[in-house]
Amino acid sequence: MKYETLFADRTSTMGANIIREILKVVGQPGMISLAGGYPAPQSYPFEVIKQLSTAVLEKYGTKALQYDMTEGFLPLREALVPYLAQKGIETTAAGICITSGSQGLLDALGKVLITPGDAVAVEGPTYLGALSAFNPYGPRYVCAAMDDEGILPDALERILAAHAVKFVYLVPTFQNPTGRSLGVARRHQIAELLDKYDVLLCEDDPYSDLRYRGEALPTMYSLIPERTVYTTTLSKVFAPGLRIGICVAPEPVRKWLVLAKQGVDLNTSTFNQAMAAEYLLGGYLEKQIPKIIDLYKPKQEVMLNALDRYFPREWHYNKPEGGMFIWVEGPKGTDAEKLYWKCIERKAAFVPGKFFFPCEGDGLETMRLNYTMSSEEEIERGIKIIGDTIQEGF
């Protein structure tokens, strides 16, 4: 049959997630990949999960295997209340919605908020998964510039003054792709701006538990709860393959998010939610986080030291206090994609940063580096390969 004429207008906006495409080349044998964005398998509480998988069947019986409420498995939502309170998020089980990864929340949010042509303000660069969730709903992105301390309040204000922005999407802490965190003073400024212009915020917070140094930052939700849709995930502190996302949102928005989710998956895996509940209730999560930090922190240090050693002085990189990424900026005129293909030949991979910018032509000289998936030795060697390739003028 003639398939070409079948598709909806919106379908052309659904490009492949380029990072996932790039990771295909990266799977070649012998490749040192600093391109990934996955948590290290060594960070999973493997033995705990083994134990919990049978324990939940004993505790919850067939309830753990049945359909369940779209809002989420109640014991999990109850267990999340004190966990979220530590982040300044005061809510009840009824205020929480469980989604199939935070990706599920991003899709639902796009679906209930974006009419084609609506302006959505994002950081430049921003998380690519958010763009692929929002794209089918037809947003027009307006991009606020960042520096090492996150989004620039002035840049955001210019956008809010000039556009009828439907919502602002931010990853304020240890952002993917940059690892940057929004400073405390700026958080207050952004909160005031959102109040002033009466705009909703989506705060995506997957990384804040992975803090290696420094003081915890207040969540945006804790500053402006009535205008924040907060989302986080257990993918970085439990296991991503279980697909558990968490959302807290004002009731008038949350009720529509739940209806949108109902049409998409009815409910998130009950069994996996039951395991997550026991992971929290048994105190395993709080014991696991320091182990994950002990795993990642030295890897990050190795990467920072190697960057210092092998990269030319004109190349700038940041030193995030946590998370999974380091952001590197070459001198103006650098073509980081050209460098990428050269490094692939030499068996080292990163992600050219331009793919994280919604506007074509931005960030050509940038790259994202990840240190969670490689050994310290591989990180050292990978950075040396990239640094040497740069030094040779690639």
Residues 6 or more apart in contact with residue 295 via CB below 8 angstroms? 40, 42, 43
What is the token pair recorded at 271?
């069994």
Position 312 contacts a copy of itself (CB under 8 A): no
Nearer to a copy of itself, 60 or 315 (CB): 60
Q: Which of 156, 253, 293, 343 binds a copy of itself (CB under 8 A)?
A: 253
176 binds a copy of itself (CB under 8 A): no
Residue 69 neighbours by CB distance under 10 Å: 15
CB of 10 to a copy of itself, least distance (A): 7
Binders of a copy of itself in range 89-118 (CB under 8 A): 100-101, 103-104, 107, 111-115, 118
Cα–Cα separations (whole angstroms), residue 282 to 75, 141, 238, 276, 308: 12, 42, 13, 10, 42
Question: Helix, strand or coil for residue 169?
Answer: strand
Is residue 66 close enough to count as binding a copy of itself by CB under 8 A? yes
Please list, in sequence order, all residues whose beta carbon lies within 8 angstroms of the beta carbon of residue 95, skipping any fewer than 6 positions away. Answer: 248, 249, 251, 254
Q: What tokens appear for 323 in the block? A: 């998370």
State which of positions 135-154 bind a copy of itself (CB under 8 A): 135-137
Secondary structure tally for the chain: helices H, strands E? 13, 14
3-state secondary structure at position 358: coil
What length is written for the chain?
394
Tokens 């969730």 identify what position? 133
**Which 321-360 residues touch a copy of itself, going by CB under 8 A?**
none
Nearer to a copy of itself, 22 or 146 (CB): 22
Q: Which of 252, 283, 333, 361 binds a copy of itself (CB under 8 A)?
A: 252
375 belongs to the binding site for a copy of itself (CB under 8 A): no
In the range 258-287, which residues lie near a copy of itself by CB under 8 A?
259-260, 262-272
Coil vs helix vs strand at 258: helix
Of the listed pieces 38-46, 312-320, 324-332, 353-361, which binds a copy of itself according to CB under 8 A? 38-46
CB of 364 to a copy of itself, least distance (A): 25
Q: Which residues 219-248 are close enough to bind a copy of itself by CB under 8 A?
A: 226-227, 235, 239-243
Query: Exactly one of 27, 30, 82, 198 binds a copy of itself (CB under 8 A); which one?
Result: 198
Q: For residue 203, state whether it binds a copy of itself (rule: CB under 8 A).
A: no
Number of residues in contact with a copy of itself under rule CB under 8 A: 80
284 close to 70: Cβ distance less than 8 angstroms: no
Using CB under 8 A, which of the segments 35-43, 168-176, 182-190, 357-365 binds a copy of itself? 35-43
Q: How far is the CB of 246 from a copy of itself (least distance, A)?
A: 15
Query: What is the β-pairing status of strands 140-147 and 150-151?
Result: antiparallel
CB half-sphere exposure, 77, CA atoms < 13 A: 20
**Smallest separation (angstroms) from a copy of itself to the CB of 101:** 6
